[in-house]
Amino acid sequence: MKKVTMMDVAKEANVSKSTVSQYINKRYDYMSVETKKRIKEAIEKLGYQPNYIAKSLKQKKTSTIGVIVANILHSFSTQVIRAVEDYCHEHDFHVIVCNADDDPEKEKKYVEMLQAKQVDGLIVFPTGGNVELFQQMVEQNFPLVFVDRRIEGLDVPSILLDNKKAITLAVEHLLERNYKRIGIITPSLIRKITPRIERIQGYKDALEKHGLELNEQYIKSVDVPLMKDTVKEMLELPEPPDALLAGNDLALMEVLKLVKEEGLEVPSKLAIVGVDDVSFASLFNPSLTTIAQPAFEMGTDAAERLLNRIKGSPVEHSCVTYYEPVLRKRQSS
């Protein structure tokens, strides 16, 4: 079963390859009706399908972009990916998704693989390593958009949640409801990941703004396997928090596991607010108050910017867009 090529079509239709190529690319400017018809028939008869690889090689573009997420386990990542794919498919671009698994080494490997495959651009949720690598890409003018996190000093368009505002919203909501001792749990800060840092900072700012004292024992940043124990310790303090902010969806899951294990009453014993609107938030008993990210718009925006850039729009300098978080009040607080 040999592949049929443009050459075969040309022979069948008694024209040259060039003419077939014009036809395929709808450059009908000067093509006779007769020729068009013959080519059309030849294509149908042979079941010809153009080879994009050959086209890509010649045109030096692949109509493919890569997406590298730091960690695919976050619902936010999968939502953004879906939005990016929808937008790209509408614009006849392909998407290759890679999961760096929070590992800068993997991230680097994927960047290189994707560049070798000649992707036209990259959307990345940067792990925080690989600063020089991205720096080089910027210098080479490679189309790049960051989502969720930015890297200090890198001139890359970045699409972020307004994290401080998100936490402020949550804190003020809890204060309104008369919770006084608000704790927060996020994943580890060691890799200086933007949202985590900004969320903790937002927490501190919000408490200060309302004249509340900071209690370092209420502020914990540890990775998922340690979260349950850490929260448990927090709840065993002489004066335990009466409300808890979960810094992202995975943190929220850990908190809920603990709540279940310990049989804690929510919100009477402990109020809960999570960042990221998990799929089951409204189904849960009690339903869960969350701070939602407009993930779909953020993903669409990322894709749109990247494709515009690829299609020749000028580079956007030091452009960081913050998206508005949305407080969804439910029963858990």
Partner DNA sequence: CTGAAAGCGCTTACAG
Nearer to DNA, 19 or 79 (CB): 19
Binding of residue 35 to DNA (CB under 7 A): yes
Binding of residue 6 to DNA (CB under 7 A): yes
Binding of residue 103 to a second copy (CB under 8 A): no
**Choice from 44, 90, 105, 112 touching a second copy (CB under 8 A):** 112
Binding of residue 268 to a second copy (CB under 8 A): no
On whether the CB atoms of residues 130 and 138 are closer than 8 A, the answer is no
Region binding a second copy by CB under 8 A among candidate stretches 36-44, 107-115, 223-231, 321-329: 107-115
**Choice from 59, 201, 282, 308 touching DNA (CB under 7 A):** 59
Give a three-class secondary structure readout of 118-146: CCCEEEECCCCCCHHHHHHHHHCCCCEEE
98 touches, from a second copy, DNA, none (C-beta below 5 to 8 Å by class): a second copy
DSSP secondary structure, 37-52, as one string = HHHHHHHHHHT----H
Estimate to the nearest angstrom the gap between the alpha carbon of 164 and the chain centroid. Answer: 19
124, β-bridge pairs: 68, 146
From the CB of 28, what's the least distance to DNA, in Å? 9
Residues 6+ apart with CB under 8 A from 54: none
Nearer to DNA, 10 or 253 (CB): 10
311 touches, from DNA, a second copy, none (C-beta below 5 to 8 Å by class): none
Distance CA 296, CA 301 (A): 8
On whether the CB atoms of residues 160 and 314 are closer than 8 A, the answer is no
Binding of residue 328 to DNA (CB under 7 A): no
Nearer to DNA, 32 or 201 (CB): 32
Binding of residue 54 to DNA (CB under 7 A): yes
Give which of 242, 268, 270 is closest to 256, Cα–Cα. Answer: 270
**Choice from 1, 29, 178, 268 touching a second copy (CB under 8 A):** 1
CB atoms closer than 10 angstroms to residue 218: 21
**Choice from 20, 42, 83, 95 touching a second copy (CB under 8 A):** 95
Judged by CB under 8 A, the chain residues 50 through 69 that form the site for a second copy are 50-54, 56-57, 62, 64
Region binding a second copy by CB under 8 A among candidate stretches 38-46, 90-98, 202-210, 216-224: 90-98
Give which of 160, 158, 163 is closest to 146, Cα–Cα. Answer: 158
Residues 6+ apart with CB under 8 A from 213: 207
On whether the CB atoms of residues 61 and 93 are closer than 8 A, the answer is no
Over the window 220 to 259, marking each residue x when it contacts a second copy by CB under 8 A and - when it does not, the resulting string is ---------------------------------x--xx--
Distance CA 164, CA 275 (A): 12
Counting residues that bind a second copy (by CB under 8 A) gives: 43
Binding of residue 128 to DNA (CB under 7 A): no
Please report the beta strands in the chain, taking only residues with DSSP state E, as ranges in sequence order. 64-69, 94-99, 121-124, 144-147, 158-161, 182-186, 219-221, 243-246, 271-275, 289-292, 320-323, 326-328
**Choice from 1, 26, 34, 178 touching DNA (CB under 7 A):** 34
From the CB of 23, what's the least distance to DNA, in Å? 9
On whether the CB atoms of residues 124 and 144 are closer than 8 A, the answer is yes
Which residues lie near a second copy (CB under 8 A)? 1, 49-54, 56-57, 62, 64, 72, 78, 82, 85, 89, 94-99, 112-113, 115-118, 139-141, 253, 256-257, 260, 278-280, 282-285, 287
